[in-house]
Amino acid sequence: MWNLLQIELFKISKRPRTYIAFAAIFAIVAIFQFAFKADGQSYMDLVLQSVKDSFELDKSKAINGYFMCYIILNTLLIQVPILVALIAADSISGEANMGTLRLLISKPISRTQLILVKFAAATIFTIFLLLWMAITALFMSLLVFGADDMLIFRVKGEESQIMQITKDDIMWRYFAAFGYATVALTVIAALSLFLSIFAENSIGPIIATVCIVIVCTIISNISVPIIDRNVKPFLFTSYLVGWKGFFYIATNADGVPIKGSLENWPAIRKSLFILIGHIVVIVWASVAVFNRKDILS
């Protein structure tokens, strides 16, 4: 398996399209950083307008590396599934398109091994993508904007909240958030891989993945009780932004944030289990379908 995984990673590393995702992330992060460096105060004025009378803030310190990373993650984690699909959706369909799939299948490796290796390679690509995001969005932002306490703006029910996390309580939250995002995006990778089994070029599975993510995201955001109860709990998109839970800090009886705490760890843990459940089911389905498939490409 290790030998096959090495081969798979070698092939991914040699494809130009692999680097499109990394370049896209770098470009978006750089644009964000440039814009906030140039005119971040206007953004803060706008965001803080509603709470300026009830909250004492040093706005000059509000825009810092940690805050920037949070803003960028909020934006990028919506687009990153597309970048993950770019590679994962090519896993089987790309081989079928090139004609190499029949050569792979005629080698003494099982189809189950092939699917598991493809999935592992797509997962590793996802991890690298998020590491790159961490380097550019977090560490580069810290270099450019410096480190300070972080403000989190949150809408809870009908009220807006601002939470402040001290700078010595942030880094672990980012590591945890990136870890969660890796699991969430691995669901997308598994879904793309599954769809790629049915196609002979990667365009179809990429588009299908994006459509499924969009449709499920829309459904996840519809606030109708019947959907809330019967549909949303089963949609992976309902849990994609669960990483934010690591930045929601618990407070004591006086409303003072407790350092190192999480407001709702059981909810995060449940979301993680559901996402992992999705991965297991989708990969199992991929193995089952691929093992029965006639290779006609």
Q: Which residue, among 278, 275, 241, 247, has the nearest Cα to 263 in the 3D structure?
A: 247
Part of the chain binding another protein (CB under 8 A), chosen from 46-54, 59-67, 106-114, 262-270: 106-114
Say whether residue 7 binds another protein (CB under 8 A). yes
Instruction: Tell me which of 14, 38, 155, 229 binds another protein, using CB under 8 A.
Output: 14
Query: Residue 183: left (phi > 0), alpha (psi -120 to 50), or beta?
Result: alpha
Say whether residue 104 binds another protein (CB under 8 A). yes
Q: Least distance (Å) from another protein to the CB of residue 17?
A: 10
Instruction: Tell me which of 155, 226, 256, 296 binds another protein, using CB under 8 A.
Output: 296
The amino acid that residue 137 corresponds to is A
The amino acid that residue 20 corresponds to is I
Say whether residue 9 binds another protein (CB under 8 A). no
The Cα–Cα gap between 236 and 278 comes to: 7
- The site that binds another protein (CB under 8 A) totals a number of residues, namely 24
Asked whether the beta carbons of 187 and 236 are under 8 A apart, the reply is yes
Tokens (6 digits) for 234:
């089963």
What interhelical angle do 16-48 and 65-88 show, nearest 10? 150
Q: How many degrees, rounded to 5, is the angle at CA 267 between CA 262 and CA 268?
A: 65
Part of the chain binding another protein (CB under 8 A), chosen from 77-85, 104-112, 240-248, 264-272: 104-112
Asked whether the beta carbons of 30 and 135 are under 8 A apart, the reply is no
Say whether residue 4 binds another protein (CB under 8 A). yes
Part of the chain binding another protein (CB under 8 A), chosen from 3-11, 84-92, 219-227, 276-284: 3-11
The amino acid that residue 8 corresponds to is E
The Cα–Cα gap between 240 and 226 comes to: 21
Task: Name the CA radius of gyration of the chain, rounded.
Answer: 21
Q: Least distance (Å) from another protein to the CB of residue 199?
A: 17
Name the 3-class secondary structure at 253.
coil
Say whether residue 108 binds another protein (CB under 8 A). yes
Instruction: Tell me which of 24, 152, 163, 295 binds another protein, using CB under 8 A.
Output: 295
Residues 6+ apart with CB under 8 A from 268: 180, 242, 245, 246, 262
Instruction: Tell me which of 57, 105, 116, 152 binds another protein, using CB under 8 A.
Output: 105
Instruction: Tell me which of 1, 27, 98, 276 binds another protein, using CB under 8 A.
Output: 98
Part of the chain binding another protein (CB under 8 A), chosen from 54-62, 144-152, 258-266, 287-295: 287-295
Part of the chain binding another protein (CB under 8 A), chosen from 107-115, 144-152, 158-166, 243-251: 107-115
Q: Least distance (Å) from another protein to the CB of residue 99?
A: 3
Q: Which residue lies nearer to another protein by CB, 61 or 293?
A: 293
Name the 3-class secondary structure at 59.
helix
- CA 47 to chain CA centroid, Å, is 25
Part of the chain binding another protein (CB under 8 A), chosen from 54-62, 94-102, 179-187, 271-279: 94-102
Q: Which residue has the tokens 């398996």?
A: 1
Per CB under 8 A, residues contacting another protein are 3-4, 7, 10-11, 14-16, 98-100, 102-110, 292, 294-296
